[in-house]
Amino acid sequence: MITFDQVSKVYGDTAVVKDLTLTIETGEVFVFIGPSGSGKTTSLKMINKLIENSKGDILIDGKPHSQYDLHELRWNIGYVLQQIALFPNMTVEENIALVPEMKEWDKESIDQRIDELLTMVNLDPKSYRKRPVSDLSGGQQQRIGVLRALAANPDILLMDEPFSALDPLSRSKLQDELLAIQDQLHKTIVFVTHDIQEALKLGDRICIMKEGQVEQIGTPDQILNQPESDFVKDFVKTGLPTYPDQDHIDQVIAGGFYSKVSKNLEGSSSLQADQETHALLQALSQKDSVYVLHQGQSYLISQTDYLQYLSKKPGLGDRGK
């Protein structure tokens, strides 16, 4: 459990976090979200003392975090950044093993942990352990960043906009994998994002901040259906997308964004062309390509096809900025 008790952070005459009081329950995914400058990242970084609070107390399992040895505190809190902070001259296994080695785990335990974690995110240990991380895609590198943060089995995982720099398909896939990992490991995850869709998908509870203060804390259902202020209502509304979720898959096909067309393949077409494109996004987060049935024919749409379609959508490149 993490408790903020009247916590503030002041720079000069400016309070970026003001009398923050809240509790993050053990084993939940707690999401901080708000406009730029709302204090969400500052709040997260005060947990592991990357930023020192100016007043108030932060307690971890009832003990003020000021009473923890700094190295002990940070070794027991995993941390994932937006920027992929892996060591490019090291292999996958060397990156994941860093903290367990510093904590003097034995080699057998480290090797077992690496295999467990890679398997959790559907990366074959035999194929990936010895790979230089510089050979991996951006999405794969961020997976390794998450695994490195989890390697020493910390109770708490801090995630500061970890998926925001990724393309929509990679982002959706990593969100799904994070939820699957959480189902197995039950960590206390504190997550910062600017994307309300991501917050609603991942969060057990969501904290919407404005100017360093809490506007509302609630479940995704409460945030969506019971906004406690006009600010929350407008913030959620403006964060929900126009593209691509109001499009339909037939628009992807009409634009020529498919790899192959054939007569209907019985049992192969997993989607219908009149479905909304968020169904296509979800399907492509699980596999490289999917068949779509349209006017008696099956169209094969790949991840690359869909990304090319998204790149042509007006205004889509401005989302999230």
pLDDT digits (tens, 9 = 90+) for 212-265: 999 999 998 899 888 999 999 999 888 765 544 457 888 888 888 888 777 655
Burial class (CB in 10 A: 0-12, 13-18, 19+), 301: buried
Q: Which residues contact 55 (CB under 8 A, 6 or more apart)?
A: 6, 7, 8, 10
Query: What is residue 204's predicted lDDT score, i.e. its pLDDT?
Result: 94
Q: ∠ CA 89-92-98 to the nearest 5 degrees?
A: 85
Alpha-carbon distances of 161 from 134, 142, 234, 320, rounded to whole Å: 21, 11, 22, 11
Query: What is residue 244's predicted lDDT score, i.e. its pLDDT?
Result: 46
Higher pLDDT, 267 or 209: 209
Query: What is residue 320's predicted lDDT score, i.e. its pLDDT?
Result: 37
- Which tokens sit at 49? 């003392």
R_g (Cα) of the chain, nearest Å: 22
Listed range (18-22, 84-88, 146-150, 186-190) with the worst mean pLDDT: 84-88
In whole angstroms, give the CA distance from residue 212 to residue 63.
Answer: 24
Listed range (29-33, 77-81, 118-122, 276-280) with the worst mean pLDDT: 276-280
Query: What is residue 265's predicted lDDT score, i.e. its pLDDT?
Result: 55
Query: What is residue 92's predicted lDDT score, i.e. its pLDDT?
Result: 93
User: What domains appear along the chain, each with residue ranges and CATH number?
Assistant: 2-239 (3.40.50.300), 249-318 (3.90.1280)
Listed range (51-55, 100-104, 241-245, 251-255) with the worst mean pLDDT: 241-245
In whole angstroms, give the CA distance from residue 155 to residue 153.
Answer: 7
Return the amino acid letter for 87: F
Closest CA to 271 of 304, 242, 249: 249
Q: Reply yes or no on whether the pLDDT at 174 is more than 90.
A: no
Q: Determine how many CB atoms are found less than 10 A away from the CB of residue 24.
A: 23
Higher pLDDT, 210 or 309: 210
